[in-house]
Structure 1
């Protein structure tokens, strides 16, 4: 790595090195008694251990995933992975229901999600409001139930040369439970300190034999979660009959997820296995929009709170054959997955319809689907000069993607549309598709006991934007059993999603004008549309990335491992949703001729180059005593900095009309919006049938930017303590209880400058990495067999 990439991480690196000399650890504890585990992510070699990897891989076991009060996968990962950020936006339309997660402070769609090594489909929801991840349509991690997961492997390195599009920040590979043996059922209850957010959850997993040669495993998750509300009283208008009351609902939405996952395998012959895994899940969510004040509708004379009631449905099926013939390991698979998001509006009106307005509206749907055919082969070749074999892997993939927008009721979008969310119009509706083919090769070798290396090359051809080629080289050198160095360099890409190319809607947004939240009709235009072209749009192209990392691995004793990895990620042509451009009369008239009556417009564009630099530190120490029990100390630290390298010239048509495509807020949302760092220290204790866990996490500072720099707000770091304990009763029963956020910590409140807290009604920022719900109590009872 060039020396100029290292200064930024130096200070946190020294700090973390100091910490690691005391007690720093890694997540590589999947099985009791083991500090190192076999991995499958980022490698085609057999029996590759975490200690041997040339790229950093974290392993998160079922114990860590289930040792908190949350039953949401993304929430749990946000607590155990220092490089993952999962805020909890509120009042952000569909982003309340499908929340985006970030790895290494990058866009949520710049991380690839796999299930059993196979690409997972993305959500249909596009994050278009002022949340983190604005403009992205990533995988919905919360659609995957904890009960189905054996462990998770997180590759913290660019891997587009190995896996294709999206693997810029890294790869999250979710490994499902397998086998017919054993099962469990668990019921859980929880509630926040403020006596809201009550949660009842039920999960279970069990297996069955398919004759003597196969197995089938089923996992189910279901939960009912009540909403939370941390809104302030409404003091906007003394004449309001509800003056001084809490009219707004600001917090987590009401959610009811129901998920079924199936994993199976059958031995067809001595050399061939058939496998399949599938899921079907549905999550109903009721989120609140902004309170509409009194006097606006004769149907609700005292005002009303629009409710956005959505149904997100996920379905997937992966099936294939794998085996070995003539020394070649092979795997042929078919993969289909889809997400459908339907939205209804309740407790609201279309103001243009007056007293004749309905109070229920169907706002339309979004649907995203993918189909894949994969062929992979791998073989180990003995090389006389090497201490280990040369692993050669080859593969080909065909992928087809489809994105669909379905129109809502006419009443949901006619005129100003339904309050809360104006529905998708008939002109927005349509279906678009594309396909791509790829071929790839991977080479790995243990050249000597001290030195190993790997290389990967991948070429892809997309039907919409053309060809792209990615490459990666990695190496590791072990000075001895205790110290080794590893390094990687790679190029990568992320294809513009169909959602970014074709998502289009006209809706009511709120902008601060002269200190007042003002509604404005805003059009989000497909980048290839006449409306976008009238505002200077050009076709989207792929994002291009260059990843570099340099790390050191330490294993001073059998019970202690540590790793320190510095990285740099350069991304050119990043895709962003433009600023909400308030149009002058000339541009309004231009769009009106196309039938678009809007006061603001926006579209997706390749306009920004960025550089991300940072450091990850992970380590684990285990101490065992026959009297005191076993202690596992786990600490982790991430420091991350995103900086702007280049912004494309403003389109001439916008400059001529006094508009800016990429504004200050859009840039700073990317560069300073996620926490600068995160540190966590966990202690797990077990003695016989009793266990306990304590985790303290420090979420670093972050800034919520505005176009007026004087209105920026930087939020202080936040310390959060989680405690839990469990006891096994008899052979089968286990009871556990815990408190998340024991000290009932809240993030800083939003300042009132510029009315950014909506007159005190929305006191907290939806960007806060640990949310703003406060202390949470929970208890679980489980039965296993």
Structure 2
């Protein structure tokens, strides 16, 4: 169906229409044609993109217009033009390269400031956030990328403790902590949360993208290639670079509201999960070339409930199953101030405050974990979160004897405080409080970097040399909750607060480490057609020692319309401090029955008794090979195959029970019956291919943009890394369920077809996303009866209208046909609902309206 639709749309969009505004855009520095330049009619949703020869065409009604030309690495330019009714108008223009020594244009994947995304040797996606958010229902960055970028995957979790409040995300099917996140090219800190439940990111510590408001973002650059040799640890799967807005003298504001259509409910409530977002962005000009851009954003999201699913025994289900309630407030700023002709100060950062309520598993009226005098009908504990996240970066860029120099520092902090309400401590009897402070954790990171870059225009056809150093400090803390949140006052009863037992004094810790990295990164254009790059990076950790990694990349232009590209690199990822030191007691539900599980710290008495070795870094080999092509006027095609092999991957093991003699006494002393821990358990191999087909054309008096993005991805476990002591427990060490959780980081295929048509003041968007089949092993540990989620497709539709150049409205729906994943037994799934959080999620259709203002 998708193939048929895209073929029809592409054929229709190639229909020839008379044009009355044409033009040719070149690079002012060398007179070469510039493909991919955005041509926009100011004040209207009408524009074009230059083709491979730098040409564009538009059909406009007679009149006077202002036309804006923009391209990464070049100065944005506006021209006034008068279109006559009787003859064509020609507008030729040469764009000047940006003054990158003062106002760097960040394009991730290359430190060559003269390199554009169109001639990069590695695949890069550039996502214009304003264009996406104005027409689609997604409000936060994770969900925005989930439905725009085929190689990116993120699902909201439910019944997953901390992951209900921080959405884990992955790139190319690898772990959330194997993707490096940058803001304005600077390393962003990770979340302090290590994910213990859910289908994605299990055992990982990823970066919380939702701390950054979409309203503050100009664009998102996704490097789909291993880049540890360029940027350091975590960049095995790729790099996501978030570029903040720099606009001035313009106020933009948005008011958005939407709600989910509840297909599966027994009550009369047809809609839930109301989502209100209000944001504003304004830029001030500082001097002649400086700026201060500020963004405020507030989002209020209500619970959804997809429990009580028809056809499933109600006694086997939770009473509350769905999205957590979230209140999210952010304030971000981005500033730059030239102080001389060669020197510029810069600063950016922001603060995010999030408060959440997430339902835990139901405690029934007759449960031994309930006190009927307090909750006669049983109760649904609510895990609350209070998350405070902040980033502050500052530095100076200058030009020193022909070298572009960047000296900067970025500090980041993420603190996560847990609470539990609508609960009790069973061991306290009828006197138990109903609300507890359960403690939490914090991660802080400080990075100081000094970077040098120089482009030699007269060497070969261009030679770029970059080198530098970064020093990173990290600190991780766990702090205990109040005594009643974890203590057993009657040792015959369950200890601590139901839903989430608090952290104990024995869990508390304060651990730090440092890292020093040095690198050199070169790119040489041997001819105008052939380029090669090489990077080498050495890093030394205070707790893991040193590692040396390298990368080779190349690009060959066979013709102006066809280019081959490829990369090969080695990579690494140091285990996070959370993976190394996290320890706690959690309540898990196995087949619907509550079980106390100890997450044991690596190096503890339990892990030593089992012979578990100390954690060490993951290492990888990455390769990619692909091509880009201009298939005639307005068509572009990119195809990139990739291979990633990771050795000693850190995962959370399966659960060892107290019937093992080596650990039985330890577990009984802890009053738990099972134990899990982090270890370098497996080595994996990922193979895949990314395909992006795009077409831009004039259609009638409007502009039709059609794109089809496809990702095919396959992950295999090469080996399970055990020793003589662990070998008898190999099936527990990395069990069937954990194997399928790792594989489920991404569906084996994901396809995104987008059709975007703009005419005068109207814009229409149709998007179809197909998710491939996902398989998960449930609590019966039976490989012959997996939970299989068959392929499903969602359809999004929106209509936008600009009443004036200052006011616009968008209305529409996401997943308008109310598609859900396949249902399964709630008591056997990981999260206790009829679906695991896979594919498009479990909430169904979402209907929204967006009012936007520009002044």
**Does TM, scored on the shorter chain, surpass 0.5?**
yes
Partners of 1:529 and 1:147 in 2: how far apart? 45
Partner-residue secondary structure (3-state), 1:557:
coil
For the residue of structure 2 that corresponds to 1:745, the secondary structure is coil
Q: Distance in 1 between matches of 2:250 and 2:6?
A: 42
Structure 1 pair 555/609, CA: closer, same or farther in 2 (3 Å)? same
Q: What displacement does 1:30 show?
A: 6.4
Match of 2:163 in 1: 95
Would the alpha carbon gap of residues 329 and 726 (structure 1) be closer, same or farther in structure 2, given more than 3 Å must change?
A: same
Q: Paired residue for 1:397?
A: 470
Shift of 1:391: 0.4
Name the counterpart of 1:497.
576
Within 1, Cα distance between the matches of 2:140 and 2:287?
35
Offset from partner CA, 1:227-273 (integer Å, 9 cap, x none): 10110169999xxxxx8899611111111100000000101111100
- How many pairs were matched up? 753
Which residue is equivalent to 1:644?
717
Question: How far, CA to CA, are the matches of 1:559 and 1:327 in structure 2?
Answer: 39
Deviation at 1:381, TM superposition (A): 2.3
- Map 1:17-416; keep pairs closer than 5 Å: 32=40, 33-34=48-49, 37-38=72-73, 40-62=107-129, 63-194=131-262, 195-232=271-308, 248-295=319-366, 296-297=370-371, 298-384=373-459, 386=460, 388-415=461-488, 416=495
> Shift of residue 559 of structure 1?
1.7
Deviates more, 1:375-384 or 1:16-25: 16-25
Q: Secondary structure at the match of 1:75?
A: helix
Deviation sequence 1:415-453 (CA, Å, 0-9, x none):
221110111111001110100101000000111121111
Alpha-carbon shift at residue 177 of structure 1 (Å): 0.3
Question: In the superposition, relative to structure 1, how do residues 23 and 472 fare at CA in structure 2: closer, same or farther (>3 Å)?
Answer: farther
User: Which range is displaced more, 644-653 or 169-178?
Assistant: 644-653
Return 640-649 or 704-713, whichever deviates more.
Answer: 704-713
Residues 251 and 723 of structure 1: CA distance in aligned 2, closer, same or farther (over 3 Å) = same
Matched position secondary structure for 1:710: coil
Match of 1:620 among 681, 694, 702: 694
Is contact 1:255-1:285 (8 Å) kept? yes
Answer yes or no: is the 8 Å Cα contact 1:185–1:204 preserved in 2. Answer: yes
Q: CA deviation at 1:21?
A: 9.2
Residue 693 (structure 1) aligned with residue 765 (structure 2): yes
Change (3 A) 1:560 1:55: same
More displaced stretch, 246-255 vs 450-459 = 246-255
Does residue 677 of structure 1 match 2:749? yes
- Paired residue for 1:729? 803
Counterparts of 2:111 and 2:218, CA distance in 1: 20
CA RMSD of aligned residues (A): 2.5
Change (3 A) 1:541 1:22: farther
Distance 1:28 1:312, change over 3 A: farther
TM-superposed CA distance for 1:211, in Å, is 3.9
**Cα separation, 2, equivalents of 1:710 and 1:18:** 40
User: Post-superposition shift, 1:667?
Assistant: 2.1
| Larger-Rg structure | 2
Q: Decide whether the 8 Å contact of 2:796 with 2:812 is kept in 1.
A: yes
TM norm structure 2: 0.85
Structure 2 CA distance, aligned partners of 1:680 and 1:17? Answer: 11
Q: Does 1:452 align with 2:467?
A: no
Instruction: Please name the residue that 2:76 is paired with.
Output: none
Over 3 Å counting, the alpha-carbon distance change for 1:531 and 1:28 in structure 2 is: farther
Partner of 1:3: none
SS at match of 2:507: coil
Shift of 1:731: 3.0
Q: Deviations over 1:126-176 (max 9, x none)?
A: 101243110001000111111000001100000000000000111000000
Contact 1:24–1:636 at 8 Å: present in 2 too?
no
Whether 1:483 and 2:550 are equivalent positions in the alignment is: no
Structure 1 residues 352 and 562: alpha-carbon distance in aligned structure 2, compared to 1, 3 A threshold = same
Distance 1:763 1:668 in 2: 18
Between the aligned partners of 1:20 and 1:603, the Cα distance in structure 2 is 52
Cα offset for 1:587?
Answer: 4.1
Q: Does 1:530 align with 2:598?
A: no
Distance 1:337 1:22, change over 3 A: farther
CA contact (8 A) 1:390 1:444 kept: yes
Aligned to 2:844: 774
Specify the SS of the correspondent of 2:363.
coil
Cα deviation, residue 189, structure 1: 1.2
Residue 631 (structure 1) aligned to one of 704, 717, 721: 704
Q: TM-score of the superposition, structure 1-length normalised?
A: 0.92
Matches within 5 A, 1:755-766: 755-757=827-829, 762-766=833-837
Instruction: State the secondary structure of the residue aligned to 1:48.
Output: coil
Is structure 2 residue 543 aligned with structure 1 residue 464?
yes
**1: CA distance, partners of 2:649 / 2:573:** 9
Unaligned 5+ residue runs, structure 1?
1-13, 238-242
> How far apart are the structure 1 equivalents of 2:730 and 2:153?
36
Superposition deviation, residue 461 in structure 1:
0.3
Looking at structure 2, the residues matched to 22 and 109 of structure 1 have their Cα atoms a distance apart, in angstroms, of 42
* Alignment check: 8 A CA contact 2:201 2:745 kept: no
Alpha-carbon distance change, 121 to 548 in structure 1, aligned in 2, over 3 angstroms: same
The separation in 1 between residues aligned to 2:169 and 2:803, in whole angstroms, is 37
